Amino acid sequence: MILCFDIGGTTIKVAEAYSAENVVPKGRIATPTDDFDGFVAVLQTAIDSATIRPQVLAFSMAGVIDSDSGIATAANIPCLTGRRLQIDFETILGLPVVLANDADCFALAEATVGAGRGHDVVFGLILGTGVGGGVVVHGQLINGAGGFAGELGHGSIAQRVFDDPAVTLPAFACGCGQTGCLDAVCSARGIEKLHLHLHDVRMDSRAIVAGWERGDAIAAKTVEVWLALLSGPLAVMENMLGAGVIAIGGGMSNSSRLIAALDIAVREKCLKRFARSLVVPAECPIEPGLVGAAILGLQRHGASAL
């Protein structure tokens, strides 16, 4: 059995996994963000409460693991930042450990049991509080040892001047310390910034999308700019990867009409002309972080670990 953890800044979700299709959620616990000993105690309690003794601990976590040093950076979980988590967890808990970024786990789940099934290359993109991505090739993460592959959300690439619609945007500051990142303008918080800048009106991202779906002209302009900002970089990513599908998760994916509009905008800008949908909503039926962690554990340790 693989004991899986999906670690966020607010909650740690736990599941027992017996296969990629048999992942059983076991509840959630508040994340001790500033207390490493308390954090480890939560993990130990989950191990002690498991149905059977796990052979592997698999983690999906917000943040990144440096592929060279193994050091974690988790902005919303300070007690994990700066630690070599795999070594620390294995030493303290006495079990093999695998870890991956939450967006990587999302992509792996979608490639295996979600919208990417049957495709050699899958790009998973989370459009939620932030923008995160992961790449899976032939069923494997291309950055299995950690790293930044697929992180489309960060880097000064957001277009600022548009002819149609005629709009000039500032280089919005991003939480990563850069300006002009897609994370700052294409996430749920990002579209809210766009709306405020364009119309001087504060509005929740869900209300903006709902207004666009109703035909509201003000919301329509915001969504038009949002689509222009995101579709170009996504088309370039598609040209680089040749992904068979781009699976979209996160809160923004709850609008099937928005994802369908993004699909059309991306396909218009790709070198390859797709006669089918390329950008699609995620389909993983259970928490993708837990499923992705389970798959990672199964891959790293094989069926013999169960």
- Domain identity same for 245 and 101: no
Q: Is residue 111 part of a domain?
A: no
When divided into structural domains, the chain yields a total of 2
Please spell the DSSP secondary structure of 206-272, one letter per residue.
HHHHHHHHHT-HHHHHHHHHHHHHHHHHHHHHHHHH--SEEEEESGGGG-HHHHHHHHHHHHTTSSS
pLDDT digits (tens, 9 = 90+) for 212-248: 999 999 999 999 999 999 999 999 999 999 999 999 9
Distance between CA atoms of 226 and 220, rounded to whole angstroms?
Answer: 10
21-69 pLDDT per residue, tens:
899 999 999 999 899 999 999 999 999 999 999 999 999 988 888 888 8
What confidence category does residue 75 fall into, taking pLDDT thresholds of 50, 70 and 90? confident
Tell me: do 298 and 258 sit in the same domain: no
**Res. 287 pLDDT band, cuts 50 70 90:** confident
* CA dihedral angle for residue 41, residue 129, residue 279, residue 165, rounded to 10 degrees: -170
The answer to whether the predicted template modeling score (pTM) of the entire model surpasses 0.75 is: yes
What pLDDT does residue 306 have?
42
Residues 156 and 299 in one domain: no
User: Residue 270 is part of which domain span?
Assistant: 116-281
Kindly tell me if the per-residue pLDDT of 286 is higher than 90.
no
Same domain, 63 and 200: no
- CATH number, domain at 228? 3.30.420.40
Indicate the pLDDT class of residue 300, thresholds 50, 70 and 90: confident
pLDDT-above-70 percentage for the chain: 97
Q: Domain check: are 301 and 263 in the same one?
A: no
Distances (CA, A) of 168 to 2, 152, 165, 175, 225: 50, 22, 9, 22, 10
